[in-house]
Chain A
Amino acid sequence: EIVLTQSPATLSLSPGERATLSCRASQSVSSYLAWYQQKPGQAPRLLIYDASNRATGIPARFSGSGSGTDFTLTISSLEPEDFAVYYCQQRSNWPPVFTFGPGTKVDIK
């Protein structure tokens, strides 16, 4: 089973600052990695798929990069609505099992 590790667990930043979130896989997932944003009381929202493609309607300040085992989600300039928890997720080829990382909470400094 592929295990995803996210760091840091919590990121305390101010609006306007740059956020850099990391996701590491225990073995290569190629580029089959997605990122989600979750706000309290809401379902996760897809931000990035295939490691670097923004989902429909996602602002350009969100970007993803990486391949293999190391991935990064960058928020170029934090807006007030960006303070939330972010999860990475992958699907292994066979057996097709989906796993999520433990999440990174971005909170207001």
Chain B
Amino acid sequence: QVQLQESGPGLVKPSETLSLTCTVSGGSISSYYWSWIRQPPGKGLEWIGYIYYSGSTNYNPSLKSRVTISVDTSKNQFSLKLSSVTAADTAVYYCAKEYVDTAMVPRGWFDPWGQGTLVTVSS
């Protein structure tokens, strides 16, 4: 079955760019939608954005000006860049796959998820 694994620096300085990669194993990245979701310590979940394997993207309006999600199908990976970070961006960052049905229509729920990676913004 498909498994996802996040990787990247655990510490980022304020005003710099947070960069994370999600590696997909056990299946192809093609034909699916892939999302980034974050969770500040002790708080709830916030969807950041998604990318389709073809490269089309959609972002949370609240983060849109600072977010870029890209895909590398040759490596079965997709990546997140979040610019101009502040302490408010400290969170566990998850990557997740959106389920698509047999007609390749995205259905709006996430399964599976990666285990998550904590990124702390601090000088």
Contact = CB atoms under 8 A, between A and B. Distances in A.
Interface of A: 1, 32, 34, 36, 42-46, 49-50, 55, 87, 89-91, 95-103
Contacts, number: 60
5 contacts: A32-B108, A46-B109, A49-B111, A55-B111, A91-B106
Given A32-B108, A34-B108, A43-B94, A100 B113 contact: no
B109 A34 contact: yes
Interface in B47-93: 47, 50, 58, 60-61
B45 A49 contact: no
Given A1-B61, A89-B109, A95-B58, 18 more contacts: A32-B107, A32-B108, A43-B115, A44-B45, A44-B113, A45-B113, A46-B110, A46-B112, A49-B99, A49-B107, A49-B108, A49-B111, A55-B111, A87-B44, A89-B45, A96-B50, A97-B47, A98-B35
A88 to B, nearest CB: 10
Interface of B: 35, 37, 44-47, 50, 58, 60-61, 94, 99, 106-116
Q: Which of B60, B99, B110, B116 has the most CB of A within 10 A?
A: B110
A50 B107 contact: yes
Contacts of B108: 32, 34, 49, 90-91, 98
Contacts of A96: 50, 58, 106
A1 B112 CA distance: 25
Contacts of B107: 32, 49-50
Contacts of B113: 43-45
A50 B111 CA distance: 13
Contacts of A1: 61
A12 to B, nearest CB: 19
Nearest to B114: A43
The list of the 7 closest CB pairs from A to B, nearest first, reads A91-B108, A34-B109, A98-B47, A43-B113, A46-B111, A100-B45, A49-B109
